[in-house]
Amino acid sequence: MKYIYPAVFSWSETDKAYIVQFADADNWFTDGATIAEAMENAIDVLNLMLLEAEESGDEIPQASKLETVKVDDDNSFAQYIFADTVAYKQMIEFRKTARSA
């Protein structure tokens, strides 16, 4: 399935990293040293969490609209993150096959 969820990117001076928190799930988060790395990690985490929910039959939260997501300060911004769990699962299976070959 294909999904799009808003995430908040916040610079942490303490961690020297961008912390990414998904607005619709408290336990969906990641980070990255750069915005590009944080974005890549956010895509990976979103796909992983949604695929796990699909496979276990857990409820998948409704995605908020980007304009309703609150951003705390000038060091933060909200961004949509796209996920395609079918493609993600195929990538995982391909990697497993390639390792065992």
DSSP 26-86: TT-EEEESSHHHHHHHHHHHHHHHHHHHHHHTPPPPPPPPGGG----STTEEEEEEEEEHH
Pick the closest to residue 28 from 51, 12, 2 (CA basis): 51
Instruction: Look over the chain and give the mean of its residue pLDDT values, rounded to a whole number.
Output: 95
pLDDT band at 99 (very low <50, low <70, confident <90, very high): confident
Express each pLDDT in 8-50 by its tens digit. 999 999 999 999 999 999 899 999 999 999 999 999 999 999 9
Q: What type of residue is 17?
A: A
* Domain extent at residue 40: 2-100
pLDDT at 101 (0 to 100): 65
Express each pLDDT in 56-72 by its tens digit. 999 999 999 999 999 98
Pick the closest to residue 31 from 9, 47, 48 (CA basis): 9
Core vs surface per residue 57-88: b (16+ CB within 10 A) or e: eeebbebeeeeebeeeeeeeebbebebbbeeb
Task: Please tell me the total count of domains within the chain.
Answer: 1
CATH number of the structural domain spanning residue 60: 3.30.160.250
